[in-house]
């Protein structure tokens, strides 16, 4: 009898000891995402997409179509409004210059944006290393990050933009006529410190700014909205700025505009021209508001397009 009970008694004793031991504490949740940067090689150029964060947009109210159609298109992509929307910029190391396309929002839009500099540092670069910054347009989420409380965030950089853009936003007459002056004030706050420092240089039309990077006007979203074509070796990347905001809607139906477009009639053909060329040419596009890192290819599909995100790479 004793021999039969021994295993039972032993098991009971072990169980009692385990129950009496203090429980392991649950691991705390980290509650932070990975640093918002990625990296690809484009020929001999290194391209580093940088996230400035995300912002919730009431796209069902902003897009120029029936909100029910917007909701249905979002649901098809397992999304909903307000839509958490990426804000991306792109850092290009040509080997001789460090060029940045757009600067993020800085403090312009509140706490969920303004993360570009932190992500730039996480990616291995410092703001003082940036040689030139090419702005697609002067909306606050693209130019606001140039300054911090009036201080140059990128002290060694020359800022460049289409002359039509700077002429419009820096015009006293245009600001006086505008119903809302906030956009004008934000643009002036971002650009004026660089003008005073002799570090702003506008350009006219479609021009090569440095070898391998060319400005290409795509007017409509703003009066001087400009995209940038980056080429190295046999590879090409078109950084399209705000030609698109809501891929889940506007890829299928590129005729849909958004309230932010200053000239909606011009915005649609500008988008279609760039997208048709990218689909035909098979080269990459990079979008300021495509899901981070915002890089991929386009294929025509029906009356619209299909966005094919880049494959993850370890730089091989």
Res 314: pLDDT: 82
In this prediction the pTM is 0.91
pLDDT confidence tier of residue 69, bands split at 50, 70 and 90: very high
Q: Dig out the tokens for 152 from the structure.
A: 């140059």
CATH 3.40.50.261 is the classification of domain 35-309: no
Res 313: pLDDT: 85
Res 23: pLDDT: 57
Helix extents (H) in 39-134: 59-62, 67-76, 116-122
Domain range list for the chain:
35-309
pLDDT at residue 18 is higher than 50: no
Q: Do 165 and 211 contact (CB within 8 A), yes or no? A: no
Closest CA to 92 of 82, 103, 101, 84: 101
- Give pLDDT tens digits for 161-189: 999 999 999 999 999 999 999 999 999 99
Res 20: pLDDT: 52
pLDDT at residue 14 is higher than 50: no
Res 292: pLDDT: 97
- Give pLDDT tens digits for 289-310: 999 999 999 999 999 999 999 9
pLDDT at residue 280 is higher than 60: yes
Q: Dig out the tokens for 236 from the structure.
A: 């090409």
Q: How far is CA 218 from CA 180, 242, 271, in A?
A: 24, 10, 8
pLDDT at residue 7 is higher than 90: no
pLDDT at residue 19 is higher than 90: no
Dihedral sign, CA of 77, 70, 303, 300? negative
- Give pLDDT tens digits for 228-262: 999 999 999 999 999 999 999 999 999 999 999 99
Q: How far is CA 267 from CA 159, 258, 291, in A?
A: 25, 9, 21
pLDDT confidence tier of residue 35, bands split at 50, 70 and 90: confident
- Say which range, 6-10, 33-37, 206-210, 292-296, has the weakest mean pLDDT: 6-10
Res 1: pLDDT: 45
Q: Do 165 and 174 contact (CB within 8 A), yes or no? A: no
- Give pLDDT tens digits for 253-278: 999 999 999 999 999 999 999 999 99
- Say which range, 69-78, 132-141, 280-289, 305-314, has the weakest mean pLDDT: 305-314
Determine the Cα–Cα distance for residues 134 and 119; give it in Å rounded to an integer.
Answer: 19
Judging by DSSP bridges, how do beta strands 200-203 and 158-162 pair with one another?
Answer: parallel
């Amino acid at each position: 009898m004793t021999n039969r009970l021994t295993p039972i008694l032993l098991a009971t004793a072990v169980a009692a000891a385990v129950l009496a031991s203090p429980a392991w504490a649950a691991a705390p949740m980290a509650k932070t995402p990975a640093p918002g940067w990625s990296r690809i090689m484009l020929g001999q150029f290194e391209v580093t997409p940088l996230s400035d964060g995300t912002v919730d947009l009431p796209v069902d109210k902003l897009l120029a179509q029936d909100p029910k159609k917007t909701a249905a298109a979002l649901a098809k992509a397992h999304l909903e409004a307000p839509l958490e929307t990426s804000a991306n910029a792109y850092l290009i190391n040509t080997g001789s210059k460090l060029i940045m396309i757009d600067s993020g929002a800085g403090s312009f839009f509140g706490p969920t944006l303004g993360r570009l500099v932190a992500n730039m540092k996480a990616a291995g670069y410092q703001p003082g290393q940036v040689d030139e910054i090419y702005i697609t347009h002067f909306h606050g989420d693209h130019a606001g990050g140039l300054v911090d409380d009036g201080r140059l965030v990128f002290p060694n950089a020359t800022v460049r933009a289409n002359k039509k853009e700077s002429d419009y936003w820096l015009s006293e007459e245009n600001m006086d006529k505008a119903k809302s002056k906030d956009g004008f004030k934000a643009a002036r706050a971002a650009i004026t410190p660089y003008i005073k420092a002799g570090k702003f240089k506008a350009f006219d039309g479609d021009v090569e700014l440095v070898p391998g990077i060319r400005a290409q006007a795509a007017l409509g979203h703003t009066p001087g909205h400009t995209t940038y074509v980056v080429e190295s070796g046999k590879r090409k990347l078109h950084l399209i700025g705000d030609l698109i905001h809501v891929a889940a809607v506007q890829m299928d139906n590129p005729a849909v505009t958004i309230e932010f477009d200053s000239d909606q009639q011009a915005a649609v053909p500008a988008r279609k021209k760039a997208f048709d060329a990218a689909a035909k040419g098979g080269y990459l596009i990079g979008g300021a508001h495509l899901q981070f890192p915002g890089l991929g290819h386009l294929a025509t599909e029906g009356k619209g397009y299909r966005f094919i995100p880049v494959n993850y790479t370890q730089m091989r």
